[in-house]
Structure 1
Amino acid sequence: MNKDGNYLKSQDLLPISHQNRNIGPFGFSVIWIGMAIVLAAFAMGGGGVQSLSLPMVILATLIGSVAIGIFMVIIGDIGVEHGLSFPVYMRAPFGTIGTHIPSIVRGVTAASWFGINTYFGSTAMNGILTLLFGYDNWFICFLIFAAVQLFNTSLGIKSIERFADLAAPVIILISCWMYVTLADQAAENGKDIWNWVETPVTGGAAFTAFMVVVMSNMGFWGTLAADMPSLSRYFKAPANERNWFKRNKTQLAGSLIIMPIFNTLMVVIGAVSYIALNNYDPVFALQEAASGFVLGILLLMIVLAQWSTNTSANVIPAATIFSNVGGPKVPFWVGVLVAGIIGILAQPWNLFDVLSTALLVIGGILSSIVGILFADYYMIRKRRVNVYDLYEMNGQFKYMKGFNLAGLISWIVGGIIANLLPAYSSLVGFVAGAFLYYLLAKYWWFAKYKQAELEDPSDEKYLGITVGRDWDIAVDEELGVIPETVNEQI
C-alpha cells in the first residue's frame, strides 16, 4: 500500500501507456477465434432449432452477434483512449467503493464461465485419456485443466496472444470437420438440416423464439462487452488521432466481423449436432462420429479451444476485477487464483440445465451496466475523464462515502426492467440503464458532486491518446512500479 494509505493505486490497474500496447488487429482477431468456441454457443444452436429453422437461427445469431459487437467496440474505447481497465473506470459511474458491487457480479460471472468452459474441456481431455490409456476420471482432468489455464494466464497477455496464434488454425479445422461430419450424419438419418425443426412455431411465438436467440447471444457476450476496456487497453492505437474509427481499428475487425462469423459457426455446429444426434454437446458428437487417432486429435482441439477462450474472455477480466477489489495487496496473479477457485466452487457440471435461462438474466443485468458506461463516458463526459482522480481516495469520484447513487439506482432498476422482458433483456437493459443514469447523474448527482471535466471540458486536460497523453499515475516508490511496465503484469 502507498504511504498515504491509498489502496486505489494497485500496480496491476494503472493506465497502460501508448508504447506498451502490443495487440494489433490481426492478434485480436486471432484471439477472437479462440474465444468464440464456447459451450454456450453450441447450446444456443441446439435450443434454437427446437423452434426455428437453421436459417432463422443463423440470422438471429448474426443480428445478436453484430449488435453486441457494436457495444464491445463502443465501450472498448475507454481502454483505447485512456488505457483504463473496467473496474477502474467503473469508479466514475459507481464511486470508488460502489464500483466493487457491479464489478464483483461481473467477476463472479466470468469466473463461473471459466468453470463451465473448463468442465467442457475436461470432458474432452478425459475422452483422450480413456481412448489412450483406459483412464476415466473427468474430475481429475477438470482440476488439472483448470490449474494449467490459470498458470498460462498468470504469465501475461503476450503469452495468451501467442497461445491464440497456435490454437486459431486448429479451431478452424475442427469446426469445418465437425460441420461436414454432423451434416452427413443428419442426412443419413433422413433429416435436411436446412429445413428441419423439432417443434415448429409460427406468428408471435416464432418472433419470440427468434428474439430469445438474439438476446441469448447478446447475453453471453454481454460479459465481455461490459469488461472490454480490461482487454482493449492493450490494443495498438495511433497517438494524436481524432478519428474514432481509425483510433479503434484494432477492435473493429475482431468484434464486428471475426466474432460474428465464428460465433455463428459454433451455433450452427450445435444446431446440426442436435439435429443429427439429439445432443448439442460437441464432445458427445465427436465420440459418436469418430474413433481412434482421429477422435483423439479432435478432442485435443476441443481442449485447446476452451483453453484459448477461458484465458482471454474469462480469467483476465475476473482477475483484474478481484485485484481491484483487493487493492495493492492483491496482485493480478492472486486475482487469477481467486477466479479459479470461484470457477471450481460454482460446480459448473450442474449449470447446464439452466444455461439458456441464465444467459437472458445475465444479459439484462450486464447490459444495464453497459448502458450506464455508455451514458457516463459518451453522453455526459463526452470521453473526457479526470483520470488522476480515479486513483485518489478523496477525489471527485469519492462522491457520498465512495458511492455514486445515480449509477447504483440505474443499474438495479435497469436490471429489473430488463428481466421483466426476458426475450428482449439485453436491449431493454442497455436502454433503461443509459436513460436512467443520464437523467439521474446529469440533473441530480453531478449537480451535487461537481466533475472537473464537466466544469472545464478541455480536450488537452481530460483526453488521453487522442491528444497524445499517457496518464502517469504517481505511486509509492517502495512498490518499484513504473506505469510503463505495468502491462507486463497482465
Structure 2
Amino acid sequence: MGKTDKNNSHLKSPDLLPISYHKRKIGVMGFFSMWIGMAILLATFNIGASGVQSITLPWVVLATLIGCIAVGIFISIVGDIGVEHGLSFPVYMRAPFGIVGTHIPSLARAVTASFWFGLNTYFGSTAINSIIHTINSGFDNWLLCYIIFAIVQLINTASGIKWVERFADIAAPIIIILSLIIYHTLTTDIIEHGNNVWAWAENPVTGGAALTAFMIVIFANMGFWATLGCDIPTISRFFKAPKYEKNWFKRNRTNLIGSLIALPLTETFMIMIGAAAFMVAGSSNPVIALQETASGWMLAMLLLMIVLTQWSTNTAANIVPAAAIFTNALGPKASNAIAVFIVGIVGTIIQPWSVYEILTQALLFFGAVLSSISGILFVDYYLLRKRRVNVQELYQHKGQFKYHGGINIAGFIAWAIGGAVAILVIDYSFIVGFVLAGTIYFVLAKYWYFNKFPQAEIEDPSDEKYLGITVGRDWVIDENSGDRQEEVIG
C-alpha cells in the first residue's frame, strides 16, 4: 500500500463509513424512546431548581418548552446530514473544517460529551450507593459504584447502536412511571408544608430581572442540547427513511417526532421535578430530596429510576457521538469498542461532578462554543452545498477537502469569532453563536475561500451526483484503496 493509500485509510475507519440503507434500523418509536431516556437526567433538574429561585414554575415551564422546541428544530435540521448521506458528525466536519481541522472542533464536542458521561455516571453511582445503603446500612462506597456503573454502560454501548436502542425501549416506560411517582412524592410533601408548587419562588424578581431569568432558562435548555445539536448526524445516520423521498419533512419524520415532541415534553417534566426537589430540600438533586421524603423500598425504587435515566442518556447522547469522534481522530487502529472506553476514561479524569454547583453557567458556555459549530454546519450544508455533498472526497487525503494543509481557514475564523462573541453575551450564547458564526462562515466561504478551493457540488449542483437517499443512493467507500465507488439502490 502506497503512502497515499495509507493516508486515505486513516480517513476510512470502518465505524466512520457511510451507513447503508439496509443498516438503518432506528424508527420513530425507537428514537422517541431514546429521547425519553436522554432527556431525563439529574443535570436537567438543575435548570428547574435554578429557575424557581427567581421566577415561578409556570414561567420556568414555558421557558423550557420554548427552549426545547427551538433546539429540537436545530437538531432536526442538522440531523438531515446523517439521514440523507449516512454520514457521522466528525466525517461531515471535514467539509467546513478540513480533513485535519475537523479534529479540533470535533474533539471539543467529544470532551464535552465525556464530561456529561462522567457527571451522569457520578449521579447514577450516588443513587446506586443509596439503594445499597438502604438495603445494607453498612455499605457506603460511591466510587466502587461509579466504576461498576461506568463499565456496564460502556459495555452496553460497545455492543452496538441496536443494543442502545433496545435498552431505551425497555427503560423508557419504567422511567415514565417512576418519574410520575417521584413528582407525586415531592409535590405531596410541598403541599403538606403549606406551599403552592405553582406559585412558589425563593427570591421572586420582577420587571427586567424576571425577563432575564426567563431568557436564561430558555438558553440553558438550548445550551444543554447544543452538544447533540452538533453531532446528531452520528445518531441520525441510523434512522429509517424512505428512499427517493424529496419531501424534507417526510424524510426526517423520525427525528422531527422525537426532537419536537419527546424532547420538550420529557425535559419539561424533569424541570418540574428539579423545581419540586429544590422546594423540598433546597437542592436540585432529587437523590437528596427523595432521601428526605421517602424511605425503604419506595426510596430504593425511585433511586432505581435515577440510575436508569443516567444510563439511557449516556449511551445515546454521550458515548456514541464521542466514540465516533475519537475513532475519527485516532484512525483505524481505534475500533469503536476502544473509542467507547476512551470516552469513559476521559469523562472520569475530568471529574465533572466538581462543577455541578455552577452547571447552568457551564451549559451556557457549552452553548456558546458548540452552537457556533452548529451554525457553520447549517450554512455549509444547506446554504452553500444545498444538501449536496461530494462524499467520496471526504475520504480522500489529497482531495477536495484538503484546503490549506487539511484546514478550512474560513471555518476556523467563523468559529473563533462566533464562539468568542457568544461567550461575551453568555446569557444568549446559543442563538448568538449560531447566527454570528454561520453568517461569518457564509460570507468568507462564498466570496473568498471557495473561490480559492472550488467545491464540485457547488460548481455543478447535480442531484444525481451529490445527493444520497433522496435519489436512492448508498455511498460506498472502498476501504482498501483510493478508488472511488458509489452504488445506487434499486
TM-score tier after normalising by the smaller chain length: over 0.9
1:71 aligns with 2:78: no
> What is the deviation of 1:284?
1.1
Name the counterpart of 1:299.
303
Say if 1:211 and 1:2 are closer, same or farther in 2 by CA, change over 3 A: farther
2:235 to 227, 231, 241: 231
2:344 to 340, 345, 358: 340
Q: Distance in 2 between matches of 1:257 and 1:106?
A: 25
Could you tell me which amino acid in structure 2 is paired with residue 127 of structure 1? S
1:119 to 122, 142, 156: 122
Report SS of the residue matched to 1:236: coil
Q: Is the 8 A contact 1:212 1:423 kept in 2?
A: yes
1:313 to 313, 317, 329: 317
Q: Is the 8 A contact 1:270 1:282 kept in 2?
A: yes
Q: Which moved more, 1:294-303 or 1:321-330?
A: 294-303
Q: Distance in 2 between matches of 1:78 and 1:428?
A: 23
Q: Distance in 1 between matches of 2:98 and 2:177?
A: 46
Q: Distance in 1 between matches of 2:2 and 2:185?
A: 59
Residues 435-478 of structure 1 deviation map (CA, whole Å, 9 limit, x = unaligned): 0000011111001000000111000000000000000101118x
Q: Distance in 1 between matches of 2:190 and 2:426?
A: 32
Alignment of 1:278-427 (within 5 A): 278-427=282-431
1:166 aligns with 2:181: no
Name the counterpart of 2:23.
20
Could you tell me which amino acid in structure 2 is paired with residue 300 of structure 1? L
1:53 aligns with 2:60: no
Residues 275-294 of structure 1 deviation map (CA, whole Å, 9 limit, x = unaligned): 12211111112211211111
Name the counterpart of 1:268.
272
Name the counterpart of 1:36.
39
> What is the deviation of 1:198?
0.8
Could you tell me which amino acid in structure 2 is paired with residue 39 of structure 1? L
Could you tell me which amino acid in structure 1 is paired with residue 24 of structure 2? R
Aligned residues, how many?
480
Q: Is the 8 A contact 2:179 2:305 kept in 1?
A: no
Report SS of the residue matched to 1:160: helix
Residues 213-264 of structure 1 deviation map (CA, whole Å, 9 limit, x = unaligned): 0000000100001010000000000010000001011111100001000001
Name the counterpart of 2:158.
154
1:131 aligns with 2:134: yes
Q: Is the 8 A contact 2:42 2:306 kept in 1?
A: no
Q: Is the 8 A contact 2:82 2:233 kept in 1?
A: yes
Say if 1:344 and 1:197 are closer, same or farther in 2 by CA, change over 3 A: same
List alignment gaps of at least 5 residues for structure 1: 485-490
Q: Distance in 2 between matches of 1:421 and 1:207?
A: 15
> What is the deviation of 1:483?
11
1:437 to 415, 438, 441: 441
Could you tell me which amino acid in structure 2 is paired with residue 157 of structure 1? I
> What is the deviation of 1:396?
0.5
List alignment gaps of at least 5 residues for structure 2: none
1:104 aligns with 2:115: no
Q: Distance in 2 between matches of 1:251 and 1:348?
A: 29
Name the counterpart of 2:250.
246
> What is the deviation of 1:296?
1.3
Q: Is the 8 A contact 1:16 1:483 kept in 2?
A: no
Name the counterpart of 2:12.
9
Q: Is the 8 A contact 1:35 1:308 kept in 2?
A: yes
Q: Is the 8 A contact 1:17 1:483 kept in 2?
A: no
Q: Distance in 1 between matches of 2:269 and 2:179?
A: 8
Q: Distance in 2 between matches of 1:201 and 1:75?
A: 37
Cα RMSD for the two superposed structures: 1.4
Report SS of the residue matched to 1:329: coil
Name the counterpart of 1:175.
179
1:203 aligns with 2:207: yes
Q: Is the 8 A contact 1:372 1:430 kept in 2?
A: yes
Q: Is the 8 A contact 2:20 2:86 kept in 1?
A: yes
> What is the deviation of 1:308?
0.7
Q: Distance in 2 between matches of 1:165 and 1:2?
A: 46
Q: Distance in 2 between matches of 1:47 and 1:474?
A: 51
Could you tell me which amino acid in structure 2 is paired with residue 42 of structure 1? F
Q: Is the 8 A contact 2:19 2:86 kept in 1?
A: yes
Q: Is the 8 A contact 1:38 1:309 kept in 2?
A: yes
> What is the deviation of 1:351?
1.7
Q: Distance in 1 between matches of 2:72 and 2:159?
A: 28
Q: Is the 8 A contact 1:2 1:475 kept in 2?
A: no
Q: Distance in 2 between matches of 1:80 and 1:387?
A: 14
Q: Distance in 2 between matches of 1:19 and 1:403?
A: 34
Q: Which moved more, 1:290-299 or 1:107-116?
A: 290-299
Q: Distance in 2 between matches of 1:361 and 1:458?
A: 39
Report SS of the residue matched to 2:326: helix
Q: Which moved more, 1:278-287 or 1:364-373?
A: 278-287
Q: Distance in 2 between matches of 1:208 and 1:93?
A: 34
Could you tell me which amino acid in structure 1 is paired with residue 282 of structure 2? N
Q: Which moved more, 1:76-85 or 1:183-192?
A: 183-192
Name the counterpart of 2:93.
90
Q: Distance in 1 between matches of 2:352 and 2:108?
A: 17
Could you tell me which amino acid in structure 1 is paired with residue 89 of structure 2? F
Residues 289-332 of structure 1 deviation map (CA, whole Å, 9 limit, x = unaligned): 21111111211121111111100000001100000001111111
Q: Distance in 1 between matches of 2:96 and 2:164?
A: 31
> What is the deviation of 1:203?
1.2
Name the counterpart of 1:488.
none
> What is the deviation of 1:133?
2.0
Q: Which moved more, 1:342-351 or 1:456-465?
A: 342-351
Q: Distance in 1 between matches of 2:157 and 2:224?
A: 21
TM-score, structure 1 normalization: 0.96
Q: Is the 8 A contact 2:41 2:306 kept in 1?
A: no
Could you tell me which amino acid in structure 2 is paired with residue 13 of structure 1? L
Name the counterpart of 1:487.
none
1:192 aligns with 2:206: no
Q: Which moved more, 1:272-281 or 1:311-320?
A: 272-281
